[in-house]
Structure 1
């Protein structure tokens, strides 16, 4: 399986969106590999982490976000679900779960209901170390023009997550500790 080929397939005819998603995903993959190297737990599937990080935003191909050159019909928040559907259809169910579960530090059923998100009512939080590492790495990078490879500081990530509740920051801090990126709390 070649993640870049899959991205090219789903962004065919849209080189600007491909470039945005690929550059963002490559930065996320590099950060995830760095986190995995620090974590050094036996059995950690580093190859999967890189593949999943490269594919985590494949669902962007189906959203409507003109600033990212995407002209699909779905709202941005659904890119994880769209990605899950794409990767399941490609025979990659484990990678598909990363797509669904990488939004922030994860979404609970309560988050979905309280925010009235157009998502299925089910838990969508990373459960395995591999899923958590990809989600953690993703928090440090934006898909905004001019910021694709700029790594956010821990404080910037905390501030962004804090907008969604203090418990999101707690989860982030737990991940920083677990994966060896000790925070300055």
Structure 2
């Protein structure tokens, strides 16, 4: 499948959101492909799917209230994952849809969502497949912020960001970093 026509169905070419989404997702896809090739030396990885999913992982951002990204929606930014899942399921891509929902941070458990009062459906949103883990891992290195999106974060910067969400989060990242070529 070619993700670009699907993205352009929801993001008019030339719009701010289109430019930001494609720039960010392209960087994530490149990092994910590198990680997928490294992981494929030791385990089975659907490398073409990783590229497609990486390009589509943030397709739900237009539902959110993120004017700096050109997104005029009403939902909190955190909702972009599950809204992307809904969109891609409607489009007939259920496997890609799961990547959207499960790529936030290093994943979110139903307990975390409930205990922290996050504005999300209460269900596990944890990456389960190696492909989901790879896209989630690669996404941690890049921001959509237009002032930062051309810079790849260092592993220490990723760890520092993840620590704010729990002491267990950097350990998950470290295991992925070792596994995917860090």
The interval holding the TM-score normalised by the smaller chain is over 0.9
**Pairing of 1:9-48 with structure 2 (within 5 A):** 9-12=9-12, 15-40=15-40, 41-48=42-49
Q: Which runs of 4+ in 1 moved over 6 A?
A: none
- Measure, in 2, the Cα distance between the counterparts of 1:13 and 1:50: 20
* Corresponding residue of 1:123: 124
Structure 2 contact 13–19 (Cα < 8 Å) conserved: no
SS in structure 2 of the partner of residue 103 of structure 1:
coil
* Corresponding residue of 2:73: 72
- Measure, in 1, the Cα distance between the counterparts of 2:162 and 2:39: 23
SS in structure 1 of the partner of residue 146 of structure 2:
coil
Deviation at 1:110, TM superposition (A): 1.8
- Measure, in 2, the Cα distance between the counterparts of 1:146 and 1:108: 31
* Corresponding residue of 1:93: 94
SS in structure 2 of the partner of residue 144 of structure 1:
coil
TM-score with structure 1 setting the length: 0.94
Q: 1:168 to 1:77 in 2, by over 3 A?
A: same
TM-score with structure 2 setting the length: 0.96
**Pairing of 1:128-167 with structure 2 (within 5 A):** 128-167=129-168
Task: List per-residue Cα deviations over 1:98-127 (Å, max 9, x = no partner).
Answer: 000000100011210122111111110100
- Measure, in 1, the Cα distance between the counterparts of 2:55 and 2:122: 26
Deviation at 1:14, TM superposition (A): 6.8
Q: Gaps spanning 5+ residues in structure 2: where?
A: none
Structure 1 contact 14–69 (Cα < 8 Å) conserved: no
> Pairwise CA RMSD of aligned residues?
1.2
* Corresponding residue of 2:52: 51
Deviation at 1:180, TM superposition (A): 2.6
Task: List per-residue Cα deviations over 1:27-49 (Å, max 9, x = no partner).
Answer: 00000001111112453100000
Task: List per-residue Cα deviations over 1:141-160 (Å, max 9, x = no partner).
Answer: 00011221210000000000
Q: Gaps spanning 5+ residues in structure 1: where?
A: none
Task: List per-residue Cα deviations over 1:61-119 (Å, max 9, x = no partner).
Answer: 11111111110111100000110011000100000000000001000112101221111
SS in structure 1 of the partner of residue 124 of structure 2:
coil
Structure 1 contact 32–50 (Cα < 8 Å) conserved: yes
Aligned length: 181
